[in-house]
Every structure is written in C-alpha cells, then in structure tokens.
Amino acid sequence: MELHENSVSVQRALLVGIDTGEYDADGSMEELKELVKSAGAEPVAVMMQKREKPDGATCVGSGRIEEIREFCEQQEIDFLVFDTELTPTQIRNIEAATDTRTIDRTMLILDIFALRAKTNEGKLQVELAQLKYLMPRLSGKGKEMSRLGGGVGTRGPGETKLETDKRHIRRRIETLKEELSHMTDRRERLRERRKKDGIITVAIVGYTNAGKSTLMNTLTQAGVLSMNQLFATLDPTSRALKLPNGVSVMMIDTVGLVRRLPHHLVEAFKSTLEEAATADIILNVCDASSEEYRLHLEVTDQLLRELGCEGRPVISVFNKCDLVENRDELPGGKDSVRICARSGEGIEELLRAVEDALPVKLKHFTLLIPFDQAALIARLRQAGALQSEEYTAEGILVEAIVEEPMWHLVVPYQQESSIGVSETETD
C-alpha cells in the first residue's frame, strides 16, 4: 500500500521503544508519534520496554517480539517503527518474526525529508543521506531491494536492483557530493556577495514545528508552507525585510531540528544549516507552549555551537505564547522575546530586538539635496534608508536613517536639524 497525498487509506503503525535510561524515552516516543503523523500514517499504539541495552537479535527480546506479532495480527498493523537505530540483522529478524515491515527512527525521518524536499538541492541532500544510510544495510536484502515507493520508509531515491550494487551506490554518492559541492560553492558566493553589498542576514533556526515558517510569513509574506507538522518545510527560504528604523535585512528560514537528529542528516544538510552559522543575527525560535521548550532550545544551541556560531547575537523567540497560561514563568531578558507569530502579537518587540542587535552604526539625517543630485535619493531608497522626502524651492528635503558606509555621501547635504539626533551602535 503506497502512501501518497492522494491515498485514501492510511497506514497503521505500531511504535516500539526501549528505555535504557540514556535519554527521556517517553518524550522521544511522543516525538516519534508526531513524526509518524507527519509521514502520513496513523500511530495506533506504543509498546515500551525497559532494558539495560538493546537485544542484539531483535532489539526487544523474543518474548516482546511475540507480543508484537500477536498485536500486529489483531490490529492489522502495516508497519513497525522502532525509536532507535536498528542493525540490518535486527530488521531482518524482526520482520521474519512478526511478518510486518519494520523501519527505525532514522528511516522514518529520511522518509519525511524525501516527502518534503522540493528544491533540487533538498532532493540531492536527502538522497545522499538515504544512500549513506542504505550502504551498510545492503547485505541480505535480496529481492526485497527491488521495492520502490512501498509506503512510509521507502520513499526517496528508490531501491532498484541496480542500486543494490555497492560500487554503483559509491559512484552515486560521489556524484551527489560533487553536485552538492557546486551548490555549496554557489551558496558561498551568494554569501560573499551579500557581505560585499552590506546586506545583513537574520537566520531563523529552531526545533521543528516551533512556528518558524509562520514567523517568516508574518514578517515577510513569504508564502512558505505552514502546517502543524514536523518538518512541514524542509528547503530554506530567503526574503527581504525592512525594519522599522529603515534598515533592510535578509531573513533566512532553515530546516527544523529534532532531538537525536541522525548524523547522516546533519552532515547532508550542513551546507543549509551553515546559513545560520554565517548569519549576522540568529533567531532561536521555540514553541513556548511545549513542556520541553527548554530542551528544544538546548538542542538548537548545541547545533549552533557545533556550527561555530559563538559570538553572534542570538535572540530567543518564545512563540505560541497565546497557548501559555503563565507567561511569567518563561525566561526573560533583553535577548528574549515572547510572541505569537500567527496573530502578530509581540512582533514589534521582536523587530526592536533585531534592531538592537544590528552589527552596524546607524544615524538619522535631515538632508537638503539639490535637484541635480537626485540620484543620491535613489541610492538611499534602494538601501532602505529613506524615511520621507519633500520637494522645496531650494531642493529635496529628506529624512533618512543611514548606515555608516554611506555617511560620507550624505554629510555634505546635512541640515542643522540633524545635530543632536539619535545614533545607534551595536557591536
């Protein structure tokens, strides 16, 4: 049974997890439920087992496997999802014992990524991650490797018989790396061009389903898909935003994060995530209504450290505050803002926080520009600095908030009323 957007039937999944005490197993299982829903399937039930370590043959042991087999028969379960990474041997043994298709957490996330990727780069990144994950799992698959698009856990580049040959997959991996390298170089040139042109970048990062795309839409009317699903949007989006002080910035949305994000995905999407590493300001968005919002912030902070983002301004954005009963319990401070992206509540405070974090000097000018120098007004307008203009007999009277690199151009036309005006500087 295939799971596509036009499918009538919904696949039924049994979620299986083990609690070894290494992490919050219950929280991880709740997240797995949301991942299964995002993949388009129905999480029917959860089976948890406390163990010191996973069983080498079936992960959960022979007794629990028998319970799983009986449950699958009674409830007509289509596939099993294990909340841990399984070995090829474990998958083979579990499927043989339960007669039910089995995937693990990593395969599920890869499947969702394959479903969500829309751009060429996103598709290549997903395929690279899938092939790297598939490579050590080829042994013993046999004729099963010919399945293509058979439901959750099988989408993406496909598993044709030709791709079971390891040498072919190695060649494909190298080809993908080369293509992505060219895209990374192009992205790097775009970054350098932005820096040369003095464009300030603001990256939106955070846990998946925290409302990053909704915030992007509210700020820039970007038209990004916004749904209450994990990984609803995968491909990065860039849009210009003019701040209230007249400064224009480039807003960049990035892929969402989850706890225990598979290593293959971190590596495959590193070039996309590096948009955050090179940004001038970072907005760390979290779902304030979630009981685990602190953990979500920590997951994002950890990845930002891995990407080398130390020293860059980070603003913690507590979204969905309309669903929080006691907002006073949320962390406060000058580097945190409470908002509701969907209704627009708190957006003005967020924009002020971004203005305060700008890495440039800004100065307000009152200018009287001669008519024969009107081209300067066009430059101010293009830079997003122009606040107002009025035609007078002596020339064009202009109010502008100008960045330091352009000060020398406007100073000759500065009026007395500019003396003593406000100046903002953020290091």
Say which CATH number the domain at 97 has. Answer: 3.40.50.11060
Confidence of residue 11 (pLDDT cuts 50, 70, 90): very high
Domain presence at residue 188: no
276 neighbors 205 (Cβ within 8 angstroms): yes
347 shares its domain with 236:
yes
105 neighbors 32 (Cβ within 8 angstroms): yes
Integer Cα distance of 15 and 92 in angstroms: 17
pLDDT averaged over the chain? 79
Q: Determine the pLDDT at residue 158.
A: 53
Identify the domain containing residue 232 by its residue range: 199-356
- 164, pLDDT greater than 70: no
Instruction: Residue 251: give its domain's CATH number.
Output: 3.40.50.300
C-alpha count within 13 angstroms, C-beta hemisphere, residue 255 = 27
- pLDDT tens digit sequence for 311-349: 788 899 999 998 888 877 788 777 889 999 989 999 999
Identify any residues that bridge with 17 across adjacent strands, giving them in sequence order.
Answer: 48
Integer Cα distance of 61 and 259 in angstroms: 26
Confidence of residue 299 (pLDDT cuts 50, 70, 90): confident
Q: Determine the pLDDT at residue 146.
A: 46
- pLDDT tens digit sequence for 74-124: 999 999 999 988 988 999 999 999 999 999 998 888 888 777 777 777 788
Among 80-89, 158-167, 249-258, 353-362, name the most confident range: 80-89
- What is the 3-class SS of 342-382, one letter each residue? CCCECHHHHHHHHHHCCCCEEEEEEEEECHHHHHHHHHHHH
Q: Determine the pLDDT at residue 419.
A: 37
Task: Dig out the tokens for 126 from the structure.
Answer: 């997903």
Q: What is the pTM of this model?
A: 0.66
Tell me how many domains the chain contains: 4
218 shares its domain with 232:
yes
Integer Cα distance of 315 and 389 in angstroms: 34
Q: Determine the pLDDT at residue 7.
A: 42
203 shares its domain with 102:
no
What is the helix (H) or strand (E) element at residue 179, kind and residue range? Answer: helix 166-196
Q: Percent of the chain at pLDDT above 70?
A: 79
356, 379, 413 - which closes a domain? 356
More confident residue, 413 or 151: 413
309 shares its domain with 405:
no
Q: At what angle do helices 166-196 and 270-277 cross, to 10 degrees?
A: 20
211 shares its domain with 339:
yes
145 shares its domain with 103:
no
